[in-house]
């Protein structure tokens, strides 16, 4: 049996607001994406994942959905969506969309009904609870800072929001919520989508006892400590979703955003009859350190292998600092990011590539007054937020806003952004874009095996290709053979911070 398309795919994440703007309003949109599909085909990815494009007040830039079965006018129309899917399929690109089931927008009709009348049936879709000792029902905190409870002054009850107050959490113990979401999935499956990325997939059901949680100090990135979520009820739900999608022709896929560090806990969601994939965020938390990276690769492969699931690899997404900046920025960070590209694209499984990663873009440091992320606003600036990795893509070397928009971009683009543009990098065979193009065209497959190598290096084999990464050793000798791709020009050895794929003369 041929493996399913998603089992070794490269999925390109499109942050819709920042990819390509077709109508000059400064915000990326669906027709803009459609006009750039040729670029993605040529880059060599297999699928695109679109961040939310649904009607939304934009309190969390689309992750606050006011209508799950339509397109926000800012991004286009349902017809634009259909045309985009049609063109993508014609080019052989699959289309994955974001589904945001943990919370709605406070502007969603269900929530407006819930607020307008405490006896309205829609009230039961949300987590309204009485307060305690003159304050919120418990001490749960929001991922965006402050209490996770907001007072509904009219009724005197509080409602739960694990993110911003404009993102009230749904109560997944409510059967109407469960039923309605199946309709949402069907709506998009009927329109031909190839899969869903499930937002905050581990958090839909909450511990109904509202038991307090011990928060780590200092806080960690991942949410393993959030004992109120990751509840057992999720598994039967995802089994139902899986059956629903499997009833459709083609191989429709789910990838869960499961923000847990413990790969064994993540693996429970990708057992054979549950979700096909779960993001593996472990590489986002690793420093440029050979031992740490090797441990991550082994833990992931072991945990996923134990349930027969495909591992996934993520170096960037729209929520984290760009990888070149995480690895120290400038010349060195960029070199490490290029080497990491060859590492992650050679690992067995599915790779998720975030727009601009293929250009080696760095995090942009914005002045505070221009920051838009609710994370920045709600933590009073204590956390800078995620705007710096969401700057619009530079397409052209020069010209108005580097080909992104003819209007004013929703986040400002640095003056020298044109140097990083697709156009500039396409003319330079040593660019990061050209490195990605070469690597994507030559991605190795087959069995994985670690090969012996000196400390500070990572060397493994995929069939007849050896991937060598010199993380921080003085030098790493290359085997004799053909260099397929290298992160920089190499002779017979890799210096620290470089990587290569080699087909050795003898294995």
Q: Nearer Cβ to ligand NOJ, position 47 or 467?
A: 47
Would you give the binding string for ligand NOJ spanning residues 166-195, x where CB under 6 A is met? ------------------------------
Closest by CA to 505, choosing from 477, 481, 485, 483, is 481
Task: Write down the catalytic residue from 29, 72, 257, 358.
Answer: 257
Q: Quote the least distance from Cβ 318 to ligand NOJ, whole Å.
A: 6
Is the Cα torsion angle 365, 33, 256, 201 positive or negative in sign?
Answer: positive
Mark out the alpha helices in 347-487 (DSSP H runs): 374-378, 422-426, 432-441
Q: Nearer Cβ to ligand NOJ, position 104 or 432?
A: 104
Q: Quote the least distance from Cβ 415 to ligand NOJ, whole Å.
A: 27
Contact 259, 202 (CB under 8 A): yes
Which residue from 169, 199, 362, 363 is in contact with ligand NOJ, where contact means CB under 6 A?
199
User: Binding of ligand NOJ at residue 319 (CB under 6 A)?
Assistant: yes
Q: Quote the least distance from Cβ 157 to ligand NOJ, whole Å.
A: 23
Q: Quote the least distance from Cβ 380 to ligand NOJ, whole Å.
A: 18
Q: Quote the least distance from Cβ 372 to ligand NOJ, whole Å.
A: 12
Q: Encoding tokens for residue 332?
A: 């060195």
What is the DSSP track for 58-98?
-TTTTSS-S-TTS--TTT--HHHHHHHHHHHHHTT-EEEEE
Which residue from 6, 63, 158, 269 is in contact with ligand NOJ, where contact means CB under 6 A?
63
Q: Encoding tokens for residue 300?
A: 């992931």
User: Binding of ligand NOJ at residue 163 (CB under 6 A)?
Assistant: yes
Q: Nearer Cβ to ligand NOJ, position 268 or 387?
A: 387
User: Binding of ligand NOJ at residue 80 (CB under 6 A)?
Assistant: no
Q: Quote the least distance from Cβ 264 to ligand NOJ, whole Å.
A: 22
Contact 455, 496 (CB under 8 A): no
Which residue from 21, 29, 60, 150 is in contact with ligand NOJ, where contact means CB under 6 A?
60
Contact 109, 156 (CB under 8 A): no
Residues with Cβ within 8 Å of 288's Cβ and at least 6 positions away in sequence, in order, are 327, 328, 336, 340, 471, 472, 497
Q: Encoding tokens for residue 232?
A: 């057992």
Q: Nearer Cβ to ligand NOJ, position 60 or 387?
A: 60
Question: What whole-number distance in Å separates Cα of residue 375 and Cα of residue 385?
Answer: 5
User: Binding of ligand NOJ at residue 279 (CB under 6 A)?
Assistant: no
User: Binding of ligand NOJ at residue 316 (CB under 6 A)?
Assistant: no
Binding to ligand NOJ in span 412-451, by CB under 6 A: none
Angle, alpha carbons 453-458-462 (nearest 5°): 95
What is the DSSP track for 443-465?
---S-EEE----TTEEEEEETTE
Angle, alpha carbons 335-44-84 (nearest 5°): 125
- Residue 200 Rama label (left phi>0; alpha psi -120 to 50; beta): left
Q: Quote the least distance from Cβ 392 to ligand NOJ, whole Å.
A: 17
Binding to ligand NOJ in span 85-114, by CB under 6 A: 100
Q: Nearer Cβ to ligand NOJ, position 49 or 460?
A: 49
Q: Encoding tokens for residue 357?
A: 């990663």
Question: What whole-number distance in Å separates Cα of residue 15 and Cα of residue 411?
Answer: 13
Task: Write down the catalytic residue from 29, 150, 199, 274.
Answer: 199
Measured CA distances, 59 to 46, 176, 454 (Å): 31, 25, 49
362 is catalytic: no
Contact 463, 444 (CB under 8 A): yes
Instruction: Determine phi and psi for 94, rounding to 5 degrees.
Output: -80, 160
Q: CB-side exposure of 412: number of CA atoms within 13 Å?
A: 10
Which residue from 200, 204, 290, 500 is in contact with ligand NOJ, where contact means CB under 6 A?
200
Q: Quote the least distance from Cβ 199 to ligand NOJ, whole Å.
A: 5
133 is catalytic: no
Nearest residue relative to ligand NOJ (C-beta): 63
- How many chain residues bind ligand NOJ (CB under 6 A)? 9
Q: Nearer Cβ to ligand NOJ, position 319 or 387?
A: 319
Instruction: Name the site residues for ligand NOJ (rule: CB under 6 A).
Output: 60, 63, 100, 163, 199-200, 257, 318-319
Residues serving a catalytic function are: 199, 257
């Amino acid at each position: 049996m041929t493996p399913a398309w998603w089992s070794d795919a490269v999925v390109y994440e499109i942050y819709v607001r920042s990819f390509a703007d077709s109508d000059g309003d400064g915000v990326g949109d669906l027709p803009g994406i459609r006009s750039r599909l040729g670029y993605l085909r040529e880059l060599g990815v297999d699928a695109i994942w679109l961040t939310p494009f649904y009607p939304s007040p934009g309190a969390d830039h689309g992750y606050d959905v006011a209508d799950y079965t339509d397109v926000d006018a800012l991004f286009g129309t349902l017809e634009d969506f259909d045309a985009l899917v049609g063109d993508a399929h014609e080019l052989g690109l699959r289309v994955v969309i974001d589904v945001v089931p943990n919370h709605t927008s406070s502007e969603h009709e269900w929530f407006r009904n819930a607020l307008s009348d405490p006896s309205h049936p829609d009230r039961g879709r949300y987590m309204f609870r009485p307060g305690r000792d003159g304050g919120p029902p418990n001490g749960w905190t929001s991922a965006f800072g402050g209490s996770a409870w907001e007072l509904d002054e009219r009724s005197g009850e509080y409602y739960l929001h694990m993110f911003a107050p404009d993102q009230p959490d749904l109560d997944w113990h409510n059967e109407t919520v469960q039923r309605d979401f199946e309709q949402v999935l069907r709506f998009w499956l009927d329109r031909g989508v190839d899969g869903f990325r499930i937002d905050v997939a581990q958090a839909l059901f909450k511990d109904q006892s509202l038991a307090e949680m011990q928060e780590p100090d200092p806080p960690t990135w991942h949410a393993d400590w959030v004992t109120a979520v990751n509840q057992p009820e999720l598994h039967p739900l995802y089994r139902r979703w899986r059956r629903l999608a499997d009833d459709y022709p083609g191989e429709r896929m789910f990838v869960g955003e499961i923000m847990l560090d413990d790969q064994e806990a993540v693996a429970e969601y990708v057992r054979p009859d549950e979700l096909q994939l779960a993001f593996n965020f472990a590489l986002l938390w690793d420093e440029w350190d050979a031992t740490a990276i090797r441990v991550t690769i082994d833990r992931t492969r072991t945990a996923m292998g134990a349930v027969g699931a495909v591992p996934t690899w993520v170096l960037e997404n729209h929520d984290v600092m760009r990888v070149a900046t995480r690895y120290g920025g400038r010349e060195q960070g960029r070199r490490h990011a290029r080497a990491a590209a060859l590492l992650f694209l050679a690992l067995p499984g599915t790779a998720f590539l975030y727009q601009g990663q293929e250009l080696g873009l760095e995090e942009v440091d914005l002045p505070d007054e221009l920051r838009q992320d609710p994370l920045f606003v709600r933590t009073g600036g204590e956390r800078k937020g995620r705007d710096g990795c969401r700057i619009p893509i530079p397409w052209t070397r020069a010209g108005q806003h580097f080909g992104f928009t003819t209007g004013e971009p929703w986040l400002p683009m640095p003056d020298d952004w044109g140097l990083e543009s697709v156009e500039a990098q396409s003319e330079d065979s040593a660019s990061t874009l050209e490195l990605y193009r070469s690597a994507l065209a030559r991605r190795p497959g087959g069995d994985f095996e670690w090969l012996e190598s000196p400390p500070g290096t990572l060397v493994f084999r995929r069939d007849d290709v050896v991937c060598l990464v010199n993380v921080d050793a003085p030098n790493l000798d290359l085997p004799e053979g053909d260099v397929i791709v290298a992160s920089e020009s190499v002779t017979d050895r890799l210096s620290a911070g470089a990587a290569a794929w080699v087909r050795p003369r003898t294995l």
